[in-house]
């Protein structure tokens, strides 16, 4: 394909990256900041990241448009798709202010889940980069691991990755098998994740790498198609 591709997922230490260059085996790395992820890759690389990108001013039923479109495709795994609130809520300084802003900018009115709230700093990291350099929107794409796995599987997966917040062996193995079938090396998908990342983070980064490959080949699908745009012109779509 001639370009570097990378799948990126948030993790305890920051961001875990599965990157692959032309004719090379994938490499795994962890970076503290998303800016470091971008700086470590060539300027024409394609990145698929498991993090919401593009923040509308108001939110309709089911969250942003991409979430409402992806969720029904995932069957029992649809709870993995969080409802991301408006830009005002994501930018709020604390949880109570975020909930108040979300209630005021959603229809029907909806507060913010604690799980989603903890993602806000990472969402804002990417948002700040894209607002500072709009050209990055041409190579940084929002993805979703369960959407990638669903495409690889030809349908929603039967096993979750986690049960009661703990890694779920059958679910992880199911996803490893799909990644192997997609052409990723067994020592990558069965390997030990780097410090600061869990086994599910590693597999999610690999799933996003597969999506980056699909984007580079022109085979990925955006939800919606074409992508929407927020007030800053940032695309609002999940690619699978």
To the nearest 10°, report the CA torsion of 53, 56, 59, 62. -20
Q: 57 - beta bridge partners?
A: none
Judged on CB neighbours under 10 Å (0-12, 13-18, 19+), 231 is exposed
pLDDT at 233: 97
Is 88 inside a domain boundary?
no
Domain that holds residue 8: 1-80+122-240
Is 95 inside a domain boundary?
no
pLDDT one-digit tens code per residue, 33-47: 999 999 999 999 999
Pairing label, strands 162-163, 14-20 = unpaired
Provide the CATH number for the domain around residue 132: 3.30.420
Largest CA distance in the chain: 51
Judged on CB neighbours under 10 Å (0-12, 13-18, 19+), 120 is buried
Mean pLDDT across 4-26 = 96
- Ranges of H-type helices in the chain: 34-39, 65-70, 87-90, 95-104, 114-117, 120-132, 145-153, 169-181, 186-189, 199-217
Is 99 inside a domain boundary?
no
pLDDT at 1 over 60: no
pLDDT at 188 over 60: yes
pLDDT one-digit tens code per residue, 48-91: 999 999 999 999 987 899 999 999 999 989 989 989 999 999 99
pLDDT at 228 over 80: yes
Is 93 inside a domain boundary?
no
| Structural contact between residues 150 and 73, judged by C-beta atoms closer than 8 angstroms | yes
pLDDT at 72: 94
Is 87 inside a domain boundary?
no
Is 151 inside a domain boundary?
yes
pLDDT band, very low/low/confident/very high, at 148 (cuts 50, 70, 90): very high
In total, how many domains does the chain have?
Answer: 1
Is 133 inside a domain boundary?
yes
pLDDT at 167: 87
pLDDT one-digit tens code per residue, 92-111: 999 999 999 999 999 999 99
Q: Which two tokens stand for residue 215?
A: 């984007």
């Amino acid at each position: 394909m001639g370009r570097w591709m990378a799948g990126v997922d948030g993790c305890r230490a920051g961001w875990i990256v599965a990157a692959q260059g032309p004719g090379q085996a994938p490499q795994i790395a962890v970076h503290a900041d998303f800016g470091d992820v971008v700086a470590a890759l060539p300027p024409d690389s394609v990145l698929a990241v498991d993090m919401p990108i593009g923040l509308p001013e108001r939110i309709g039923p089911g969250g942003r448009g991409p979430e409402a479109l992806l969720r029904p495709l995932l069957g029992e795994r649809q709870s993995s798709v969080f409802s991301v609130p408006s830009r005002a809520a994501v930018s709020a300084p604390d949880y109570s202010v975020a909930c108040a802003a979300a209630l005021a900018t959603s229809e029907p009115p909806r507060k913010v889940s604690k799980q989603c709230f903890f993602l806000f700093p990472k969402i804002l990291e990417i948002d700040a980069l894209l607002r500072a350099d709009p050209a990055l929107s041409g190579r940084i794409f929002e993805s979703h691991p369960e959407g990638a796995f669903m495409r690889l599987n030809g349908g929603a997966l039967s096993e979750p990755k986690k049960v009661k917040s703990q890694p779920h062996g059958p679910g992880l193995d199911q996803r490893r098998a799909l990644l192997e079938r997609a052409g990723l090396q067994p020592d990558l998908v069965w390997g030990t994740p780097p410090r600061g990342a869990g086994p599910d983070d590693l597999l999610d980064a690999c799933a996003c790498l597969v999506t980056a490959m699909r984007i580079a080949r022109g085979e990925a699908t955006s939800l919606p198609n074409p992508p929407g745009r927020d007030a800053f012109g940032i695309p609002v779509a999940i690619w699978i």
